[in-house]
Structure 1
Amino acid sequence: MSFLIGYILPFILVLSLLVFVHEMGHYLVGRWSGIRILAFSVGFGPEIAGFTDRHGTRWKFSAIPLGGYVRFYGDGDASSKPDTDGLEAMSEDERARSFAGAKLWKRAATVAAGPIANFILAIAIFAVLFSIYGRQIIDPVVAEVKEGSAAAEAGVLPGDLLLAIDGYKVKTFDDVRRYVSVRPEMKIVVTVERNGERLDLSMVPQRTELTDQFGNKLEAGIIGIVTNQEMGNFRVQTYSPLEAIGEGAVQSWYIVTGTFDYLSNLVTGRMKADQLGGPIRVAQASGQMATLGVAAVLQLAAVLSVSIGLLNLMPVPVLDGGHLMFYAVEAIRGKPVGPAAQEIAFRIGLAMVLSLMVFATWNDISMLLG
């Protein structure tokens, strides 16, 4: 029972929120575009509970809480693959209210609205957290340089103020950590200020296995510098609601760039693929964050919301990005991609998504057993 309450329940609540917001983006823009909507489901599989509204849309919770869907009129299945036979049998008026019969820009807007809703949710969550709790700021001033570290070999000294890395300005110690952590074994140039003089110091972050407060292990690049209260001037910065929204957008963008940095490192072999997590790891993280309070759970939800938005924008058939790819081709060709080509593409896309899920789940199981 404690496992159910501590891990499974937070996981279901967080994921259901993210799925609901994502699908609500599709739903709202679809309704605004005049497309008839048959079903709005949080979860897949058999229906657990639901109701039908006055517009004929079936709202439901389904048994498998690992996603969701909005099914439009004319869809062949939950992935919005067109029902070719059904569309041919429709009258002109019926086809006009189907998803496939909508204008190209309306279909593209409806599909893009899901990931966009996830990004908006993340910004909103960060904005609320920053408005209520503020944000801890630590100046990028070095208090200690670890012996034998990349920073020590490059000549970094205690008291140095870090100004930029590879030309990108850094304002906080967290900016330094964020940039360095995803660049193990990659040459970087750190610009420091020392006694009023600017120095460019080249170094290569060392690949290091770190352990978080819950005992989870992860790899990251480090250069071996430490700060403290006296040098870093630890403080909590407060934000007005408008400033908090801007800062929420910045934090969401950091997650986007960090994700692409990780994927780039994955392709080039600088990062291991075992850090790709699936539902088990998300459930574990949800339970761990729940022990730290509501704010920690909300922060995790914001990170996952950006991740879901990005994942869905990948140009893979069955995902939103795959549909947008088809619409781009349609805009260029002046006509939709043929049904046979779409069928093949959807099967390939489904195989890719299922393979990724299996691989991520295997990583999760290996993590638990290891």
Structure 2
Amino acid sequence: MSWKEWFKERFPIDYQKFVEFNERIFIKEPIPVHMKKWFYCMGATPLILAGFQIITGILLMFYFVPSPEMAYESIRHITEDVRVGFWVRGLHRWGSNLMIIALLLHMTRVFFTRAYQKPRELNWIIGVMLFLVTMGLAFTGYSLTYNQLSYWATTVGTNLIREVPLIGKWVFLFLRGGEEVTANTLTRFYYIHVGFLPPLLIFLIALHIIILRLHGVSEPEGFPKGYYPFYPHHFYKIIIATLFLLTLMSTLTVILPPGIGVPADPTVTPAHIKPEWYFYPTYRFLKLVPLKVGIYATAAFMVAMTFWPFIEPMIAKKKETRIKTSFAVGALTLIITLALTIWETIAM
């Protein structure tokens, strides 16, 4: 008996049907011709980076200790003592930044090409949820370094959460494990970062891809109709993107390695407290308006963006008016976001 027969007897599947299924669903999947342009392939980039984040995150878990006494020291140990530890940590840190950038670019492309239209409204909502989960991962992950800046960024961030209407106080106490940032806060952030948000991210990614496969890729107007098989052209494009991202993250890790800062000291408040760059627009906006107004306005904006596929038809009935309205909203949002980010970057 050959090993193939031995295996088939114990795992009785129709190999030929499996091959046919694989060819139909993956190998010969029809890809619209506009996807040959790299700008329209940004959806795969966050997926690739999410894979890198999961792998490097698991490796970091072997060495990280989520306690006030050991968190900072374990980060130092990973960075300075563990073989290639600085590289793994650098991939994880830069991967999170690039993943947020990739998601923003992908969402911008989807918004301006109006790929969220019927029947793809649900996938847009799931995409927004994916972005929010990614931001949550970035916030909780940054807090785990337990240096002076991350400690006080956690303090300020959770204070802002307390101001959220209705659920803010409850979420604030749940995240901190009390009124102050303590060992309970670090432990809770760790388990949220590694135990709750990653499975939620994976579930949303799977749901996003399933709905995408059911409806197919949205084809923007103005492009010639036509399709090409997933393999080999699109498959090779994903391989190239993966290698490029790995090279880019490795280069950034060598040129701009993530520092470890100084240990957290709850008794000393830094002169300048700033969050990570991806929170700059919100942080600067909250400085410009009364806190309550800023919180309510930010929440209203997120709700509007989440349900924009349903709001757009309510604003205008004619297609031309919808296109102009969405373009104006998208352009204004982009300009304000960039302006607030640059302002906070150069501000002292």
Please state which structure has a larger fraction of its residues in strand: 1
- Is the helix fraction higher in 1 or 2? 2
Structure 1-normalised TM-score?
A: 0.27
Higher RCO (Cα < 8 Å, 6 or more apart): 2
TM-score by length of 2: 0.28
Rg: which structure is higher? 1
